[in-house]
Chain A
Amino acid sequence: MLWLLFFLVTAIHAELCQPGAANAFKVRLSIRTALGDKAYAWDTNEEYLFKAMVAFSMRKVPNREATEISHVLLCNVTQRVSFWFVVTDPSKNHTLPAVEVQTAIRMNKNRINGAFFLNDQTLEFLKIPSTLAPPMDPSVPIWIIIFGVIFCIVIVAITLLILSGIRQRRRKNKEPSEVDDAEDKCENMNTIENGIPCDPLDMKGGHMNDAFMTEDERLTPL
């Protein structure tokens, strides 16, 4: 009698969880790809943890707080590792609608990934697209900050160069006019002093006497 019941239960279970059954989802794990040497073997304990995570996810859905681990059925485990699972209601006769399972898994995907040390690429629920993490979007794009800095440096450098150029030109314009003033003064003095010309030698401070200029040439150049 007990054996009959057992067969009945497993038969019903078998019907509920089948590849391609209604409300059934296929799961694919790539443990070796994710963890390399630290990969763990997939055994019944891991399956138990998986069932626990799915039950936990379902419990977060309103009206499904009574989901137990035994309500989650796994079947067709391959060496890939891949398998199918369904979640049944407390009566164990019907499977929960796919939409509810989908929402529950999507909301808790991060926790499920974390429990197995996997990520969205290595723990796939086919037909349940994962919400991809949006890229970090700072309020001010970084490139504008760097652009602003370099822009300000260049503008400052240009202004400095232009200003120093203007200053140099002003200084050059002043010098020849100063030299001209001195010569004018000398000519004025010429006319003032009784017609005796101003000795220009005094202005220049020193005069080479040509007779001594040839000193250097007496010495034979090397």
Chain B
Amino acid sequence: MEKARPLWANPLQFVFACISYAVGLGNVWRFPYLCQMYGGGSFLVPYIIMLIVEGMPLLYLELAVGQRMRQGSIGAWRTISPYLSGVGVASVVVSFFLSMYYNVINAWAFWYLFHSFQDPLPWSVCPLNGNHTGYDEECEKASSTQYFWYRKTLNISPSLQENGGVQWEPALCLLLAWLVVYLCILRGTESTGKVVYFTASLPYCVLIIYLIRGLTLHGATNGLMYMFTPKMEQLANPKAWINAATQIFFSLGLGFGSLIAFASYNEPSSNCQKHAIIVSLINSFTSIFASIVTFSIYGFKATFNYENCLKKVSLLLTNTFDLEDGFLTASNLEQVKGYLASAYPSKYSEVFPHIKNCSLESELDTAVQGTGLAFIVYTEAIKNMEVSQLWSVLYFFMLLMLGIGSMLGNTAAILTPLTDSKIISSHLPKEAISGLVCLVNCAIGMVFTMEAGNYWFDIFNDYAATLSLLLIVLVETIAVCYVYGLRRFESDLKAMTGRAVSWYWKVMWAGVSPLLIVSLFVFYLSDYILTGTLKYQAWDASQGQLVTKDYPAYALAVIGLLVASSTMCIPLVALGTFVLHHLKRGDVASVA
């Protein structure tokens, strides 16, 4: 008797699983950066257009394929065409790379979460130096939040070549992160279905709390006004459109096989069109919502730093000229500066080089993305809030929920093809397969806890998924439309769900989306080729800031290997199937 395929307990679990997977850290730390760089409010125009033209059709396609084929990515693509099961294999390989490095972010979130239960927060004060006469030198040059991130959390080495050893503290946190992920995927959809209720909804609760807190912070409106004021000229910049397309593409998590895996556990009759539209809309709405929160936090931080800068200048002038304490305020600073310049020119010219030009604009202009935003900028803003421990705990808890939600999708993409395969699932129960996958990932993930680990993390983050995914989704779209046949797919969907497929989707699948992906692919390739040698940012402890360095040869080799190992799967498996097919035909012919 065939074992029945496990199903989601109700369609809500499926929608929550997709939301939990799609709404991830990228919504929080990449979208606000893009919004700021490409024209603030006007970035929403290319973003929404790309959502309608690219995001929704491709998401619908993946969900429909999964629901129709009722198998993980490898099985699904094998059903579409045996030569194209390489697409599934490539998806699994990319998901494997992703889950390796993504869980390290959860480990860092755990680290910060555990350290949030102290007073004062450890990243708000610099540690003392050896003889307790002042603060640690590196901390003075950088800021206390940067010091805590680069020195205490990562203990980063000055360059990629200096590996250092495995740091036991991040290693422990990584182990815990993998145990938590294992706990959630242990029982398959049974356990995942319940966990996603929390991982999908709790981040919104925290975001709403943060929104209320953020909007009431002093200086938040500065950030909001500055960022959201549309700069219409950016609409003419092709980079804005390309980045909008890229963001939609990667934010939805297309091409990893997770969506196919989730949809394969669906009832065949569920309305995947509605689900696709809901999930993509919620994903984009969350991005915009998160950027409102982020910009109000930016505004608070910028205003705080600006006022601190003014205070420092006032203190300097008060001390040099022995003015009355409290005499200099923000409003009369310029007047007094002018008066002092004229009354005591020699003394003023001595102190002039040390007077910084405090500007709110330049504070707001610092655009940060990625781990820098999450772990440095946000923590800097949090340490200045009242009851900072509470805000810190809430924030890192939200990051954890977002990260674990995405990890559930990543591991589902790897596990579903493995549990579908009869060979493996007949020998091992699914708990053992999940355990093995988590163990292997955890062991390899220890590389990212070394002193140079963050540099390897950046390599994986930038190169493991980008090009390969574009190729995978392109082949997927072409496979469904032209190899399987758009008409056949349409009639399958109609038989399965009972609803006809509107002309809009067909036009998008067959024409517009593949063209978009090809243009993105060409752009990325040309970008890589034109930049020449690839560079990375290394932390220089003596200067207390990041410096740019070139990748060594072996790092470039690893990058090449990362990209090649996933993209080469497609042609290699196609070739393999072709050869096997001919061998079998040859055998049959010789037997006959």
Q: Measuring CB to CB, which residues of chain A are less than 8 angstroms from any residue of chain B?
A: 28-33, 39, 78-82, 129, 131-132, 134-135, 142-144, 146-147, 150-151, 154-155, 157-158, 161-162, 165, 169
Chain B residues with Cβ below 8 Å from A158 are 179, 182-183, 186
- B587 on the interface (CB 8 Å rule)? no
Contacts of B429 in A (CB 8 A): 165, 169
B30 close to chain A: CB less than 8 A = no
- CA–CA, A158 to B191, complex, Å? 11
**Chain B interface residues (CB < 8 Å from chain A):** 110-111, 114-115, 117-118, 125, 127-128, 132-135, 172-173, 176, 179-180, 182-183, 186-187, 191, 318-319, 322-326, 429, 431
User: A162 contacts which chain B residues (CB < 8 A)?
Assistant: 186, 431
Is the pair A161, B191 in contact by a Cβ cutoff of 8 Å? Answer: yes
In Å, the complex CA distance between A30 and B150 comes to: 35
The answer on a CB contact under 8 Å between A154 and B134 is no
The residue from A82, A134, A151, A165 contacting B179, defined by CB atoms under 8 A apart: A151
Is A32's CB under 8 angstroms from B133's CB? no
Query: B114 to chain A: which residues have CB within 8 Å?
Result: 142-144, 146-147
> Is A161 touching B187 in the complex (CB atoms < 8 A)?
yes
A33 touches B183 (CB 8 A): no
A144, B429: Cα distance in complex, Å: 34
Contact call A129/B134, Cβ cutoff below 8 A: yes
Q: A134–B172 contact, CB under 8 A?
A: no
9 interchain residue pairs of minimum CB distance: A32-B326, A143-B114, A78-B322, A80-B322, A32-B325, A129-B133, A79-B324, A146-B114, A30-B325
A132/B183 contact (C-beta < 8 A), A32-B326, A143-B111, A161-B191 known: no
Closest chain A residue to B169, Cβ basis: A143
In-complex Cβ contact of B318 among A39, A80, A155, A165 (8 A): A80
Q: Is the CB of B326 within 8 A of A33?
A: yes
- State the Cβ distance, A199 to closest chain B Cβ, in Å: 28
Contact, CB under 8 Å: A33 / B117:
no
| Most B CB within 10 A of own CB, among A39, A78, A158 | A158
Subset of 7 A-B contacts with CB under 8 Å:
A29-B325, A78-B322, A132-B135, A134-B128, A151-B179, A154-B183, A162-B431
Instruction: Give complex CA distance A90, B172 in Å.
Output: 64
Rounded to whole Å, the gap between the CB of A84 and the closest CB of chain B is: 12
Q: Contact: B319 with A28, CB < 8 Å?
A: yes
B176–A150 touching, CB < 8 Å? yes
CA of A143 to CA of B179, assembled, Å: 18
Query: Considering the chains assembled together, what is the distance between the CA atoms of A32 and B429 in angstroms?
Result: 72
Grouping DSSP codes into helix (H, G, I), strand (E, B) and loop, the A interface class, with mixed when no group exceeds half, is: helix
The minimal Cβ–Cβ distance linking B489 to chain A, given in whole angstroms, is 37
B127 touches A142 (CB 8 A): no
Q: Are A146 and B117 in contact (CB under 8 A)?
A: yes
The answer to whether B118 and A154 have CB atoms under 8 Å apart is no
In angstroms, Cα B326 to Cα A9, docked, is 36
Taken together as a complex, chains A and B put the C-alpha atoms of A158 and B435 apart, in Å, by: 11
CA distance A32 to B133 in the complex (A): 26
* Option from B111, B117, B323 in Cβ contact (under 8 Å) with A142: B117
Residues of B within 8 A of A30 (CB): 325
A135-B127 CB under 8 A given contacts A32-B326, A147-B172, A151-B179: yes
Q: Which chain B residues border A147 with CB–CB below 8 Å?
A: 110, 114, 172-173, 176
Q: Known contacts A30-B325, A134-B128, A143-B115: does B187 contact A154 (CB below 8 Å)?
A: no
When the two chains form their complex, are residues A151 and B176 in contact, meaning their CB atoms are under 8 A apart?
Answer: yes
Q: Chain A contacts of B173 at CB under 8 A?
A: 147
Distance in angstroms between the alpha carbons of A115 and B322 in the assembled complex: 23
Q: Which residues of B contact A80 (CB under 8 A)?
A: 318-319, 322-325
The chain B residue sitting closest to A81, CB to CB, is B325
A-side contacts of B325, CB under 8 Å:
29-33, 80-81
On whether A82 and B322 interact (CB within 8 A), knowing A154-B180, A161-B191, the answer reads yes
Cβ–Cβ contact B322 & A154, under 8 A = no
| Nearest CB of B to A185, in Å | 22
Q: Are B179 and A154 in contact (CB under 8 A)?
A: yes
Q: Are B133 and A132 in contact (CB-based, < 8 A)?
A: yes
Contacts of A29 in B (CB 8 A): 325
| Inter-chain contact B132/A134, CB cutoff 8 Å | yes
| Complex partner residue of B128 from A79, A81, A135, CB under 8 angstroms | A135
Distance A32 CA – B191 CA, assembled complex (angstroms): 61
Q: Which residues of A contact B187 (CB under 8 A)?
A: 161, 165
Which residues of the other chain, B, contact A129 by a CB distance below 8 angstroms? 133-134
A82 — nearest CB in chain B belongs to which residue?
Answer: B322
- Separation in Å of the B491 CB from the closest CB of chain A? 32
Which residue of chain A lies nearest to B319 when distances are taken between CB atoms in the complex? Answer: A28
Per the bound structure, the CA–CA distance linking A28 and B316 in Å amounts to 12
In the assembled complex, the Cα of A185 lies from the Cα of B115 at a distance in Å of 66
Chain B nearest CB from A26 CB (Å) reads 10
> A155 near B128 (CB under 8 angstroms)?
no
- In Å, the complex CA distance between A129 and B128 comes to 13
The reply to whether B132 and A142 contact each other, CB–CB distance below 8 Å, is no
Across the two chains, which residue of chain A brings its CB closest to B128? A132
Residue of B nearest to A124 (CB): B319
- Docked complex Cα distance between A80 and B321 (Å): 9
Set A79, A143, A165: member contacting B117, Cβ < 8 A: A143
By beta carbon, the residue of chain B nearest A146 is: B114
> Distance in Å from the Cβ of A182 to the closest Cβ of chain B?
18
Q: Indicate if the CB atoms of B323 and A79 lie closer than 8 Å.
A: yes
Whether B176 pairs with A154 at a CB distance below 8 angstroms is yes
**Other than the known A30-B325, A80-B325, A129-B133, what 19 A-B pairs have Cβ atoms closer than 8 Å?**
A29-B325, A32-B324, A33-B326, A79-B323, A80-B318, A80-B322, A80-B323, A80-B324, A82-B319, A131-B133, A132-B132, A135-B125, A142-B115, A142-B118, A147-B110, A150-B176, A154-B176, A157-B183, A165-B431
B125 — nearest CB in chain A belongs to which residue? A135
- Cα-based distance from A79 to B117 in the complex (angstroms): 44
CA of A174 to CA of B186, assembled, Å: 23
The chain A residue sitting closest to B323, CB to CB, is: A80
Q: Are B134 and A132 in contact (CB-based, < 8 A)?
A: yes
How far apart are the CA atoms of A146 and B322 in the complex, in Å?
50
A residues within 8 A CB of B180? 154
Residues in chain B near residue A81, CB distance under 8 A: 325
Q: Nearest chain B CB to A149's CB is how many angstroms away?
A: 10
User: In the complex, what residues of A have CB within 8 A of residue B176's CB?
Assistant: 147, 150-151, 154
Collect the chain B residues with CB atoms within 8 Å of residue A142's CB. 114-115, 117-118
Specify which of B111, B114, B179 lies most central, judged by the most chain A CB atoms within 10 Å of its CB.
B114
Shortest Cβ distance from residue B135 to the other chain A in the assembled complex, whole angstroms: 8
Using CB atoms, name the residue of chain B closest to A162. Answer: B431
Please name all residues of chain A whose beta carbon is closer than 8 Å to the beta carbon of B322 when the two chains form the complex. Answer: 78-80, 82
Across-interface contacts of A134 in B (CB, < 8 A): 128, 132
In whole Å, how far is B431's beta carbon from the nearest beta carbon of chain A? 6
- Taken together as a complex, chains A and B put the C-alpha atoms of A146 and B116 apart, in Å, by 10
